[in-house]
Amino acid sequence: MSLEEFHHGFRALVQNTISERVQANDGPFPSEELVFAELVMEHVANAGICEAATICHWSGTVQGRIRITGYALSSDETRLDLFVTHYLGTDEITPIADSIIGNVASEGVRFLFHASTGKLLGKVEPSHDVHGLISTVANLWPDLDQLRVFVITDGKTKSKHFSTKEVHGRIVAIEAMDIERLYRHTAGKPREEVAISFEQTIGHPLPCVHVPDPDADYEYALAAVPGPVVRGLYERFGSRLLEANVRTFLGARGKVNKGIAETLAREPEHFMAFNNGLVLVCDQAVFGRCSDGSIGISLLKGLQIVNGGQTTSSIYFAARENRMLDLGNVMVPAKIIILKGSEESGRERLIANISKFANSQNAVKTSDLSANRPFHVQLEKLANETWCPDGVGRWFYERASGAYQVMMLREGITTAQKKKIAEAIPTKRKLSKNDIAKYHEAWRCKPAQVALAGEKNFAAFMSALDEDPSIVPDPLDAAWYRNMIAKIIIFKTVETLIKTKEAKAVFRQGYANIATYVISIVAQRLGDRIDFEQIWKNQRVSTEFQKLLYSWAVEVNDIFDQVAPGRQISEVAKRPDIWPKVRGGAYPAPPPDVPELG
């Protein structure tokens, strides 16, 4: 798939999504720019660049134009990403000057500048979603230590990273998420972005022992990486750096991670002696000469940490929690594997095997390479082989990111073919790994966990499968699959009901979170009564059931308004104490005429 094909495919995805929402009367008429922004933010979150984002479109004027399109706040409330769009809507890829991206980014930076003091609250209607976001930014400002503004665009920028800005003493990173960068992630080449120049970072090549092998498909180097460099890498790239080491930070309470933090604080000079270090792979390495004439690494490009993810994140979090911590004497041993093969699939297999077999302090299990787990492989097979009762349509499970778009490009050669595929497998029937984790865990009555969204909820779902494989059949079967799709239809129905024009006066924000809590209530109170097979056959929910779901959603929304008035529901929903309060709500009894309830 070329960049141009990806651009055409993504534009078609936007248009198809709009058509589906118009036909379904799914909320207010969808703006092409906002649908584009929503799809891009979903891609960015799935790529691990940020957490699940929320659409929050607002613009105003305070000492210049202010505008944002969406935001993503980390679950620990220390990292905030803002998104601003520069949408062109053209059929061909349009180059965009860096100066234009800089001007657009300034609109988001101004929002941070005025929101951080709370003075912007008086400029915004209290009923607008952005009012709660401004309050959140003002309240959390002392604790926010990573701020980014993304300009998302369907054009092509020359630069992807721009000079940082300063807002009230805080550094704000500026990045462009253009069509080319989106293509890299979808085409499976996101590692290209993760690079480090040691000559720029530490002023000279990183001393190493280089072991070239002309007959192997890799080269090898041993080095000791300064602690501040490791911290800086994680600060800049976050979970992208750990793409092949899938698990997120396990927390400082774990025995190993607690030991790492203690060593950093008490015996930093012994860190290299006590720590097993990192195993890294990279697509390219440039070597230079150190001042004493020995060989050193000048540049690493396409960098991934396949083992030592807990060491990396522990160094970052320890330094963040303890501002007095000095990493100057910390050196981290590193084994660096430079990939040589040109075949992408062969390189990925090698990375997977390195991650599987290399030793680390917190062992990376084969199951951590999640896309190849039996659960996902079997689910993909069921989705491909199970047709809806009409015999024409089916659901699509996107085991690999971008697979849906690749399928559309591969099979939809002519306009007629594209239309046929879009009708048989519309975007509303496309499911990602994170989607399945969200729907499955909502039905398992884990709404606070689901509210963490994206990779965090997905990681928790995978851990649950490890701890109790019986929560899904092994192997997955067609009956389980049909029931799962029925549960997804119910979830999507709730979302649609609370996003209609008529419902806007009641539900102003947090649609996905409200739907999650409603589904957990449904699972708890009606789970054993619902005829999922009937919903599968109809591919919809009856009007009677819809009325019941809507009334329960109103109760959930009222509870959120009572326990956290004026707060962002997306943040409140993450609190463990909310579920017991929602669970204890006064929900109308199901009427006897709901056909799905036996």
Measured distance CA(571)–CA(453) in Å, rounded:
11
Measured distance CA(400)–CA(390) in Å, rounded:
27
**Amino acid 244: pLDDT:** 47
**Amino acid 296: pLDDT:** 95
In tens, the pLDDT along 175-229 reads 899 998 888 776 655 556 688 999 999 999 999 999 988 888 889 899 999 999 9
**Amino acid 313: pLDDT:** 78
Measured distance CA(293)–CA(287) in Å, rounded:
12
pTM of the model: 0.61
The residue with tokens 């697509």 is 283
Lowest mean pLDDT of 55-69, 208-222, 237-251, 525-539, name the range: 237-251
The residue with tokens 């070239």 is 212
**Amino acid 27: pLDDT:** 60
Average pLDDT in the chain? 83
In tens, the pLDDT along 33-88 reads 999 999 999 888 876 677 778 888 988 888 889 999 999 888 777 889 999 999 99
Q: pLDDT confidence of 243, banded at 50, 70, 90?
A: low
In tens, the pLDDT along 563-593 reads 877 677 777 888 898 999 999 988 999 999 9
- Domain boundaries, given as residue ranges, for the chain: 3-186, 190-365, 375-400+426-583
Q: Is the pLDDT of residue 513 over 80?
A: yes
Which residues contact residue 549 at a Cβ distance below 8 angstroms, ignoring those fewer than 6 apart?
490, 493, 494, 497, 518, 522, 541
Highest mean pLDDT among 173-187, 223-237, 371-385, 537-551: 537-551
Evaluate whether 439 touches 458 at the Cβ level (below 8 Å): no
Measured distance CA(182)–CA(190) in Å, rounded:
9
Name which residue leads in pLDDT, 384 or 308.
Answer: 384
Lowest mean pLDDT of 85-94, 236-245, 394-403, 478-487, name the range: 236-245
Q: Is the pLDDT of residue 274 over 70?
A: yes
Evaluate whether 206 touches 331 at the Cβ level (below 8 Å): no
pLDDT above 90 as % of the chain: 35
User: 137 - beta bridge partners?
Assistant: none
Measured distance CA(499)–CA(146) in Å, rounded:
32
Evaluate whether 46 touches 458 at the Cβ level (below 8 Å): no
Give the mean model confidence (pLDDT) for residues 4-12.
87
